[in-house]
A and B are shown apart, each in its own frame.
Chain A
């Protein structure tokens, strides 16, 4: 059984192996398809129309499936690699080890936001952006510039305490756990982290920054924590909802996976800590 670990506890070899597998997918031309898929969904998911990947109940199972697909791609390169998660409630500064040159590289420079350290720096030669919103081909970050602080553990706890999974109208205006976790409402967890990282993480092409996977792995873990705390609650809506993926309906683009299939992460992986 694959174990997803806190990135802060990875050994130097585990970090090297993860980075190596990501770079290998990029070299093979397989990485950019994930960026394209994510962007296609983020621009087509709308509050009043069909919505699957974002601003809807299936935000969580959709990303769980998306991460599984990416993790399987990594494992096709190196079977020992699993996705790590970034607990941004704990590792919350621009000098945290996640941003070391030996792992994801550091902040963008002030002049143009370009990441110049680590394996994903443009100058390192292995990370040219092909699926991108504008003419710039280098990875950019602006850690902590657009929003001062990452969410705190207390803020995460306040969202984990919300009993109902999701609520009509099943979009960015909903009450409930999903939308408070996604961040369109309330203290703002997931969205705020994208904004805090800045650069490509604020765009629809956010998987251009490998930290995307570590961020979403922690969001996925928070979903598992919520399930553990609210065993009597489940995915909503159950059935018959226009434009929204109900519990037993398949999700695009796979068309073979339902939210119900994604509820139990232990069928696919476990986490390194109990909750």
Chain B
């Protein structure tokens, strides 16, 4: 499990042309923050494409990527999948994120939100979004 995670990180790092992962994550957060309260979903695609992730965390595949215009499930401008099932998520005005399974605490990045969801799920599968 940890090796798969490690490999994903390496792939991501190559994609980012060697930029330090920590720096990229921080930069991604800043860019997301810049779109700000009035920015809305449409602006979330684009620069944050670098914030995509695909890894296996505690045995679950978690993926995240920006989406154009927020798609069917609006507003986030970003989608997170847990084993292929969409996790409902939302972006706060300050750039932090919440998900339907952690709706009263904020996470700095979609990846940290996805990992928290895996911890919360304890192996359970998400119910498909209505």
Contacts and interface: CB of A to CB of B under 8 A. Distances in A.
- On whether the two chains bind one another, the answer is yes
Interface of A: 39, 42-44, 46-49, 55, 112-113, 132-136, 146-147, 169, 171-173, 183-184, 190-192, 194-195, 202-206
B104 A195 contact: yes
B101 A113 contact: no
Contact of B126 (A47, A133, A169, A204): A133
Contacts of A171: 37, 93
A156 B35 CA distance: 33
Contact of B120 (A132, A135, A202): A202
B30 to A, nearest CB: 17
A43 B94 CA distance: 17
Given A47-B37, A48-B37, A195-B105, A204 B100 contact: yes
Given A135-B127, A173-B37, A206-B104, 13 more contacts: A39-B100, A48-B37, A48-B41, A134-B121, A136-B124, A169-B37, A171-B93, A172-B93, A190-B104, A195-B104, A202-B101, A202-B104, A204-B88
A194 B40 contact: no
A134 B104 contact: no
Contacts of A205: 100
Contact of B100 (A133, A183, A191): A133
A166 to B, nearest CB: 14
A113 B125 CA distance: 15
Nearest to B130: A40
Contacts, number: 82
* Interface range, B side: 20 to 34
Contacts of A183: 104
Given A133-B100, A134-B127, A48 B40 contact: yes
20 contacts: A42-B103, A43-B90, A44-B74, A46-B75, A48-B38, A49-B75, A112-B122, A133-B101, A169-B37, A172-B93, A173-B92, A173-B94, A184-B106, A190-B104, A191-B105, A192-B104, A195-B105, A202-B105, A205-B100, A206-B103
Interface in B68-97: 74-75, 88, 90-94
Contacts of B121: 134
B47 interface: no
Contacts of B40: 48-49
B96 to A, nearest CB: 9
A113 B123 CA distance: 12
A2 B67 CA distance: 50
Nearest to B90: A46
B100 A203 contact: yes
B102 interface: yes
A116 B104 CA distance: 25
Contact of A47 (B88, B93, B124): B93
Given A48-B93, A134-B121, A146 B105 contact: yes
B101 to A, nearest CB: 5
Contacts of B101: 133-134, 202-203
A134 B93 contact: no
Contact of B104 (A39, A113, A135, A191): A191
A43 B70 CA distance: 14
Interface string B44-86: 0000000000000000000000000000001100000000000
B72 to A, nearest CB: 12
A172 B127 contact: no
